[in-house]
Amino acid sequence: MSGRPLVLASASPRRLELLRHAGFEFEIVLSQVDEAHDASLTPEQLTLENARRKALAVSLNQPGALVIGADTLVYVDGDPLAKPADMDEALSMVLRLSDRTHEVCTGVAFACDGTVVKELHVITHVTFKPLTDDLIRAYHSQVNPLDKAGAYGIQACTDMLLDRMTGSFTNVVGLPVEEVTAALHELQR
């Protein structure tokens, strides 16, 4: 890889762990941007818009660095589910996902010197088991839902919720590592 510095524009501990585990060295610089919350946009459009905002904002202050911005949302019936405001909303969100398939979409934008140089999105289909209020509360007693889109984290206590999944596991965690790795190798040539 080239000597160009790599910056992750995210506070997500899951993204940080995934990128480190993939073998990349990078700095973390948080973006101070307002995210779009436009339910009329497709999953791809909305997550990419937010990823772009994050990457561009940070890249303006990181000359020469390649900045990664990402946004992950859970979608059910075409509605985006962001992070819940409280435990009641978390319970409602996971109940809505019970016994059905939903989409997890992550948009990723790569920016350098205030210009987006590449973007991608990945969608994974996730099906939950039939769930009860008590089972969801038990899950939430083990996994904090308040910092996770859709009020769940697939990487912890997976057997309590998951029936099946089609697509990238790491995408559901918060960063589609295979696609991001390929993009970084291409961009760092």
**Is residue 133 annotated as a catalytic residue, yes or no?**
no
- Could you tell me the sign of the dihedral formed by the alpha carbons of 9, 36, 166, 156, in that order? positive
Q: Contact, 35 vs 80, CB < 8 A?
A: no
Residue 92, SS3 per DSSP: helix
Beta strand pairing status for 6-8 and 27-28? parallel
Helix (H) or strand (E) holding 125: strand 115-128
Catalytic residue among 38, 71, 88, 134: 71
Rounded distance, CA 46 to CA 138, Å?
32
Residue 147, SS3 per DSSP: coil
Rounded distance, CA 86 to CA 146, Å?
7
Q: Which residues are catalytic?
A: 71
